[in-house]
Structure 1
């Protein structure tokens, strides 16, 4: 009895202990963290005095009534983004995306999230949406629509980088950020796609036309071969029939009737063949001419439009180049004009200085020349005065000697002057031969002697104040006496002649 009582007490105590253990023992699931508050706890990495304890992935003892245990989910969360933004071009766009996030696994992130979302975990997605919406508007405002469309990775990366610090403060980490759709209420994106869509449609139409052309060519070629086979078959059948008909005609009518029937059949078959050939040529014309002409016309229009755009671009570039070249030429002309003006000014100063120096030099030279000319004139006058004085002294002392000297010095000129009378005579005829020549030279010498007598007579008249012809007897000759006493050459027969008859060839 006692043993049974003891056993019952022990069993009850064990049960109570088990119940108390279950009430005090808490286990954190893999996707949650236990936040135990009610006493100070030291948490690794957070220092002392945190005020709560964090438990993840294990069990822990909790004192009921003293400590409180609450759970913080570590599951993934999703926040939809639907943000209206404006690009750098001023174009409104609507960006749709999704953010997948969760509370970080480290103690610091769990502590930050516990402080902010422990009792408001259902509002976590809204908070994340607000954070990303603000940063997304800021980033889209610095991009163009083209950059957003062509480089979504850039938009995603910049948004994640801008939101990372704030998400870390909230204790959250971003597992994924996806930009799902960019809507354009103004139609800007649609208009951007229009040229490309038109180009794709154009290429599709060209490809369809090319395929249709190839199919048509193959189909027409098949029809032509079929028609050719039909024609050959008809010709062979007509030939066989003509042979049969000819044989029958020959057998029945023999002669022109059979020939006429055969000819008629031949004409009929030739007509059918000609019709088939005309139809085939018509189909071939459609394939060879019309279809290529349509394709060539489309190609010509496309090339003409491209060439027109190229000419417009080239004209604009040429106009810009001409404008730049004109500006450069005007600047060059301006600089050259300034340089020419400076050079002209310098040359004018140099020319003025040179003119002044030249004038001074010419004045000095003129002064020196005048002094030299005056000195030379004075010396010449003195020399002439001395010469005149010497001639006067000589004339006073010995007049005849001076006159004789002057005549002797000028005798060649005197004889030359006497011979000038014969200078215009080309031919001369002497009537008395050699005696006439002698008389002619004697006359020339007599003229010289007469000149000497005249000079003596003049000197005598100057000295004595007498008239010419009354000279002293010691002289013995006057102008008249010299002429009378001059020797007279004898003629060939001793006759004296006073003149020499001369006959010129001009007179004869």
Structure 2
């Protein structure tokens, strides 16, 4: 009995030892540890595979299988293989740098395991590149070139948003999407920047011209101030020199006077007082006057030299200032001429465009103007017919009136003839007549001009205005000389009433 128990105990310990050994063997052979950039997919006994990322786990040998998926970034260079037309029909090529990776979310990780399990990174990159290129082509066709070039981030976001659902269906995430460049064979992108370059160059040229103008102005002002200071200093120096020369002349005058007096006394002593006091005094006075005359001559020469130096310095300073000012004004005019020339070129281009528009507008107006011209021509013709009839009736009336009508026209035109003949003389400020010229001759010349006008009228029309006028005036004088017959009164003349008495 005791041996049987010992036997069962040994059996239990053996079974327990085998079980422990089996567990240790399973643990040793099935223990796995995944790094943070790798996903272990353990499948076999479970309905849903077990995923290990950055942690340890156990797989049962012979019953479960371990597969790996890399979670590292996959850099992809996405380029359009051929030119793609934009929304404004410009063919371009796009180059972008994209980073994708297998998603670590459970649902997307399961999709990635189904699509890329045990696949190399190059295969995953090639599949993602095809999807990204297709989406990039789609977005290029929806946007205009200028919009894509000016806002690359918007273009990248649209492509990323458009491609994310397609890549998510494969278990991939887009980490970053950066547009490298846009290329077109027609240099359209390069020409887009020409307008901005021209504007920047224009503004820079205008700013440079303004700055140079201000610099030239400041330089001219500083030069003027320097010249003024130099002239003032030269003038002050000349004044000091003049004062010094005058003081020296005064001292020299006193010295010469003392010396003359000593010389005179010495000569008087030498001559042993052979001359009287009056002669000695006279000689001394004569010598003094001669010295004074010489001194005044020296003073005049010093003053003349000082004034000459002062005037010369001032003239040179003014000439230099005018020259600097003229140079600055010349430079400023050159800059203004260049700026004006550039503005005129721009205005000419604008006027050319405007002229094309006006040409089309005038072509549209031409038809209306032609119809309006026909109507106006008809009105003018009717008016001309009416005026011709009026002129014909006026001619008939003048034929009936005869010479009286001619004289009436002559008298009406005579003031204008005289006025026009004398009109040149009104513009003369002063008349100088030589020989026998006087006011009577001037009047005679004016009347001679009127006579020449009437003679010209006689030669051109055959009407002798002098003869007509003489006949007309002779007839008027004859009629005035004959007394008019008294006409019989049909009614007696009423007596004149007083203004203050009412009529009965």
Q: What TM-score range do you get, normalising by the shorter chain?
A: 0.5 to 0.7
For residues 348 and 148 of structure 2, the distance between their equivalents in structure 1, rounded to whole angstroms, comes to 33
CA separation of 1:257/1:95 partners in 2, compared to 1, >3 Å: closer, same or farther?
A: same
Per-residue CA deviations over 1:18-54 (Å, capped at 9, x if unaligned) read 56424323344444322123x25322xxxxxxxx443
| Preserved CA contact (<8 Å) 1:113 1:172 | yes
Q: Which residue of 2 aligns with 1:25?
A: 31
Q: Work out whether residues 27 and 58 of structure 1, in 8 Å CA contact, stay in contact via their aligned partners in 2.
A: yes
Per-residue deviation, 1:185:
4.7
| Whole-Å separation in 2 of the counterparts to 1:13 and 1:227 | 116
Give the deviation of 1:148 after TM superposition: 2.0
Separation (CA, whole Å) in 2 of partners of 1:41 and 1:16: 21
In structure 2, distance between residues paired with 1:190 and 1:125: 33
Q: Partner residue of 1:155?
A: 155
Alignment check: 8 A CA contact 1:85 1:140 kept: no
Instruction: Give the match for residue 177 of structure 2.
Output: 177
Quote the residue 2:323 is aligned against: 282
Matching of residue 316 in structure 1 with residue 356 in structure 2: yes
- How far the C-alpha of 1:141 sits from its partner, in A, is 4.2
Does the C-alpha gap of structure 1 residues 17 and 41 become closer, same or farther in structure 2, counting only changes over 3 Å?
A: closer
Change in CA separation of 1:315 and 1:186 when aligned onto 2, cut-off 3 Å: closer
* Change in 2 beyond 3 A, CA 1:248/1:119: same
Give the unaligned 5+ runs of structure 1: 1-6, 44-51, 331-508
| 1:328–1:145 Cα change, 3 Å | farther
CA shift at 1:236, angstroms?
Answer: 0.7
Alignment of 1:101 onto 2:64: no
Higher Cα Rg: structure 1 or 2?
1
Counterpart position of 2:394 = none
Match of 1:42 in 2: 47
Q: CA deviation digits over 1:230-272, x for unaligned, max 9?
A: 2211111111112212333454451112211221122022101
Q: Distance in 1 between matches of 2:150 and 2:356?
A: 30
Counterparts of 1:378-457 in structure 2, within 5 Å, are none
Offset at 1:225? 1.6
Please tell me whether residue 69 in structure 1 is matched to residue 66 in structure 2.
Answer: yes
TM-score under structure 1 length normalisation? 0.54
**CA distance 1:329–1:213, shift in 2 (3 Å):** closer
SS at match of 2:62: coil
Q: How many residues align?
A: 314
> In 1, are the aligned partners of 2:101 and 2:173 still within 8 Å (CA)?
yes
Query: Over residues 330-355 of structure 1, what are the superposed CA-to-partner deviations in whole Å (9 max), with x where a residue is unaligned?
Result: 9xxxxxxxxxxxxxxxxxxxxxxxxx
Within 1, Cα distance between the matches of 2:186 and 2:240?
79
Indicate the SS of the match to 2:92.
strand
Q: Choose from 318, 323, 337 the match for 1:297.
A: 337
Q: Which runs of 4+ in 1 moved over 6 A?
A: 10-16, 325-330
Q: Is the contact between residue 32 and residue 57 of structure 2 (CA under 8 Å) also seen in structure 1? A: yes
Aligned to 2:195: 195
Q: Equivalent residue of 1:176, what SS?
A: strand
Structure 1 residue aligned with 2:314, among 254, 273, 284?
Answer: 273
Deviation at 1:62, TM superposition (A): 0.5
Aligned equivalent of 2:77, options 76, 80, 83: 80
In structure 2, do the counterparts of structure 1 residues 328 and 239 end up closer, same or farther at CA, with 3 Å as the change threshold? closer
Q: How does 1:99-178 map to 2 (within 5 A)?
A: 99-123=98-122, 124-178=124-178
Determine the C-alpha separation between the residues in 1 that align with 2:85 and 2:177: 20
Say which SS state the counterpart of residue 83 (structure 2) adopts. Answer: strand
Distance 1:147 1:62 in 2: 55
Query: What is the alpha-carbon root mean square deviation over aligned residues?
Result: 3.4
| Shift in CA distance, 326/60, structure 1 to aligned 2, threshold 3 Å | farther
* CA–CA distance in structure 2, aligned partners of residues 329 and 167 of structure 1: 69
Deviation at 1:193, TM superposition (A): 1.2
Describe the superposition over 1:307-331 as per-residue Cα deviations: whole angstroms up to 9, x where unpaired: 333433333333444556678999x
Partner of 1:261: 302
* 1:80 aligned counterpart, secondary structure: strand
Contact 2:45 2:63 in 1 (8 A): no
Secondary structure of 2:101 counterpart = strand
Q: What is the alpha-carbon distance in structure 2 between the residues aligned to residue 126 and residue 134 of structure 1?
A: 13
Could you tell me whether the CA contact under 8 Å between 2:224 and 2:321 is conserved in 1?
Answer: yes
Map Cα deviations across residues 405-445 of structure 1 (whole Å, 9 max, x no partner): xxxxxxxxxxxxxxxxxxxxxxxxxxxxxxxxxxxxxxxxx
What is the correspondence of 1:48-67 to structure 2 with a 5 Å cutoff? Answer: 52-56=49-53, 59-67=56-64
Pair 13,263 (structure 1): closer, same or farther in 2 beyond 3 Å = farther
